[in-house]
Amino acid sequence: MTERLRLAVVGHSNTGKTSLLRTLTRDPDFGEVADTAGTTRHVESTLVRGHGAIEWFDTPGMEDSVALLEYLDHIAPLSERLDGPARIRRFLDSPEARGRYEQEARVLNKLLDCEAGLYVIDARDPVLSKHRDELALLAACGRPLLPVLNFVHAPGHRAAEWRDAMSRLGLHAVLEYDTVVPPLDGEQQLYARLAVLLDRHAAMLASISAALAEERAARRRAAYRLAAELLIDAAALHLQSPPQALQETLQELRDKVRGREQACVRALLTLYNFHRDDYRADALPLQGERFGMDLFHPQALKDMGVQLGVGAAAGAMAGAAVDLFSAGLTLGTGMLIGAAAGGLWQGVDRLGKRLSGKLRGYRELSVDDSVLRLLALRQQQLIEALERRGHAARSPIVLPQAAQWQSGPLPPPLKEARSRPEWSALAAGYVDDDRRKQQIAVLADLLADPVRYDTDTE
């Protein structure tokens, strides 16, 4: 039978209880979040499965704890020597639990029904007597409490004051967890503290924590693979254009690359379980295109079967004349044509049309290096922002503007993609071969490690 742990999220109104559950469960649609107090009026639950299961309960905010504590002292005086849970149950059996204190009754009843509670605190608030009375009522339920300090990234927060106040009340296991900008290891910290409070469930909590860490690592790897696929598609994209249609082809190139980036962004938002409006996209500034073919990457020539034997060498010598008399052809293209004429080029089918178009005056357009580097930078920034974004955040992600698009050579996988138009899923003849998959994996690793990326492209 699967082990199950029931945990209540409790606290004062508008401290971020629902926001915490949205972030912990990666569910931006759980409950309702608003700036007004008392948004959550009823108990709501959500389930997280792993090696075991945690059932979380979102509870209404406690708003009248001062008066309720006085009422509890009246109906269950300390002189009767009732323990805490017995005093709370006497209150729950009273008419006021279904009247004036109905909201607080829902909270206390749910905490009694759970193994532990998370007491969520808005660290921007001062420590007041109402908070101490809330904690006194919650502590009377006899369940372990873990204080969670929310909004600790806000300027002027009072996290230190709250830690001191909690220690005075005997609550020393305190967690700082900002639901808008959660720490990368926040889940591990949470489950580690719960394991201390709930020793009987420690093994299950450790297993869930480990599973969540593995999921996060796999999600990050998948994100950078999506970015790498985008870059390979863009780098390998080549469009041929007759001179009279150059501007139309340029616009087609830009539209294809912009659309491909938008598809990557949508896939990243889906991967991290965010909505489209969680990212405020700006148009990709494509201000550079390349004119010319990339035919000479060693691995591309090897895979295409270029064999420079005697016949090819003779043809290449004859083809040198083509270079000298063909304005617009890069030096060496004629030599390749000559090598093909020598009868030893196995890759004519793949490149023949490109060379033929070149000889007929067509221009071949591809994305400029600076645009590829900008694409890489934007995806890196977006992925890192998604990694650090809580599902309670409501302001859209806005990427910082790059001062300049980074300079220097492209990493090896993109250099090779330049010579392989069949690698671009944006054009006809797309081939997702093993070599493409291998280079995407290499590029994904480079993107995931910015220091390594900069080193390898210098």
Q: Which of 52-66, 120-134, 351-365, 378-392 has the lowest mean pLDDT?
A: 351-365
pLDDT digit string, tens, across residues 436-453:
999 999 999 999 986 655
In whole angstroms, what is the distance from residue 436 CA to residue 261 CA? 19
Quote the pLDDT of residue 108: 95
Confidence of residue 339 (pLDDT cuts 50, 70, 90): very low
CB 212 within 8 A of CB 368: no
In whole angstroms, what is the distance from residue 420 CA to residue 422 CA? 5
Instruction: Report phi then psi at 418, rounded to 5.
Output: -55, -35
In whole angstroms, what is the distance from residue 123 CA to residue 147 CA? 11
SS3 124: coil
Instruction: Quickly count: other Cβ atoms within 10 Å of residue 180's Cβ.
Output: 20
97 is written with which tokens?
């639990």
pLDDT digit string, tens, across residues 299-325:
544 554 443 344 333 433 434 333 333
Report, as an integer, the average pLDDT of 214-243.
Answer: 92
Report, as an integer, the average pLDDT of 381-385.
Answer: 91
Whose CA is closest to 304, among 363, 350, 368?
350
Q: Is the pLDDT of residue 40 over 90?
A: no
Pairing, β 239-241 against β 175-176: unpaired
The residue extents of the domains of the chain are 5-182, 221-324+362-448
Q: Is the pLDDT of residue 258 over 60?
A: yes
DSSP structure class, residue 16: S
Quote the pLDDT of residue 45: 59
Percent over 70 (pLDDT), the chain: 73
Confidence of residue 401 (pLDDT cuts 50, 70, 90): low
pTM given for the model: 0.77
* CA atoms within 13 Å, Cβ hemisphere of 68: 34
Q: Which CATH superfamily is domain 5-182 in?
A: P-loop containing nucleotide triphosphate hydrolases (3.40.50.300)
Report, as an integer, the average pLDDT of 269-279.
Answer: 90
Report, as an integer, the average pLDDT of 267-293.
Answer: 72
- Burial of 247 per CB tally in 10 Å (0-12, 13-18, 19+): exposed
Amino acid at 294: D
